[in-house]
Chains A and B, each alone.
Chain A
Amino acid sequence: MSFFMSFFKSLWKQSPPESQPEQPPKLPPLGLMILAGVLFVGSVAGILWGSQTGTPKSLAVISVDGTHWETISLHQVTAPYTIELEPAPGQYNEILVAPGEISMAQANCPDGLCVAQGVSTGVGQPIVCLPHRVVINFRENEDSLDAYTG
């Protein structure tokens, strides 16, 4: 991006000085224009690609105290449902799973931060209930199966 900006500035510097306002602005050579266009398109594509890498994480992986509990393909969920967990006697977490999203709907943890994290579509930070050691993490989906049995 910085390279793109410096290149863009270098093109700007090639425009005529203000002391000659009556002359039509001198366009940069055709080759430079094409190169600038290519770089612009490349930069936009790079930005979009960068924002996509790691983002389509529609697999929600729930673990309790470091032990894997369940993996959910969020994009495959067709109707909302809840998962009730009792990580330890007296502890309570209720996870709400809906099409394309997941949240910690309720928890009787002392700070309530996990509930406050709100709804996740499987992108970004995991939902963590630190006091109860309940984690909803996300990873990239893999639609293709490695093999079939049956």
Chain B
Amino acid sequence: MRIPTGILATALALTLAVGCSGSSKKEHSAEVFAMDTLIFLSAWGEYGHQAVQQGESYLYYIEDKFSTTRTSSELSQLNAGAGQWQSVSDDMAQVIVHALALSKETGGAFDPTIHSILTTWGFTTDSFQVPDPTEIHELMPYVGAEKIKYNEKTQEVLIPKGFSLDFGGIAKGYAGDELANAMEEAGVKTGLLTLGGNVVAIGRKTDGAMWNIGIQNPSGGGALASVAIEDKAVVTSGGYQRYFAREGELYGHIIDPTTGYPAQSGLTSVTIITDSALEGDVLSTALFVMGVEKGADYWREHQDFEAVFITDEGDIFITQGIHPWFTLASGYTEGTLRVITP
């Protein structure tokens, strides 16, 4: 799944056409704090410098669209206007369409209407708390992506009253795809974008080798494995990435939309390797909620992506397609490695 690039590609192309210089082996990079995470942009070659500069501006632009903490963002404005049809920008339209489609495809394991539940738990404000069960019960009727109406012809959305959207599980993926596509169209042949847990690779490295992407060990201590990729996105979701502890209990930020409580699927992380960072962003969350058995079934039904599941016990399940490109780190003895077959 590749998202058509729009304004960004045009801006990049125009900028790059003005004049470029530099060695094809030279790296141009930037660190950008945006979208509630640290983002690394790297591009090699004569178009790299301008591409990275434009990419940085684009990330701030996207943040202004999809932030739920900035009241001035487009998404915050849409949530404030719930109960009426509202026009949306091209970027918002793309994300809404994909979010609703993938929510349906995953059987609701990914749901962009989980925002009010996330807020109750404090994950959107860092004011963590364990909500009263009655509070969750009262909010659950306002969770359900199928209630969101979108009119493609008029490019308008209807968010029912009481509902609110949160694209935290898809916006970084969307941005990664858009950036990668725009950079490629502008002539960048080698690039690496890291948006939080989302890694997007453009082409291969300058020496022709594949990119070697480490998968974080949820128990700490660096990577437990690596995958070799080219022109792919690698996205990981894990409960360990954001959580809080109360009375000896850990509460992770990935909420099961069917219960309103942190997902307890027996997994500590799910990594998706796919052509689209957007799809990887959504599926890493959805398959984390599903657990390894349902997640494996989902992979068998689709097989247009690969996955790495890490269980609470430290066992690793990988889908068959990634096996040749998967390397376990030295001395990993916390669990066993198993291959999921079609």
A residues neighboring B (CB under 8 Å): 67-73, 75-78, 142, 145-150
Contact = CB atoms under 8 A, between A and B. Distances in A.
A149 B329 contact: no
B198 interface: yes
Interface stretch (B18-26, B110-118, B162-170, B320-328): B320-328
A8 B271 CA distance: 62
Nearest to A76: B330
Contact of B214 (A72, A73, A148): A148
Which of A76, A77, A146 has the most B CB atoms < 10 Å from its CB?
A: A146
Interface residues of B, number: 36
Contacts of B217: 150
Given A73-B330, A145-B226, A150 B269 contact: yes
Contacts of B201: 146
Interface string B186-199: 00000010100111
A20 B273 CA distance: 81
B213 interface: yes
Given A147-B194, A149-B213, A70 B324 contact: yes
B211 A146 contact: yes
Contacts of B40: 147
A53 to B, nearest CB: 15
Contacts of B327: 71-73
Contact of A150 (B192, B212, B216): B216
Contact of A149 (B199, B228, B324): B199
A71 B236 contact: no
B199 A147 contact: yes
A147 to B, nearest CB: 5
B205 interface: yes
Interface in B206-220: 209, 211-218
Contacts of B331: 76, 78
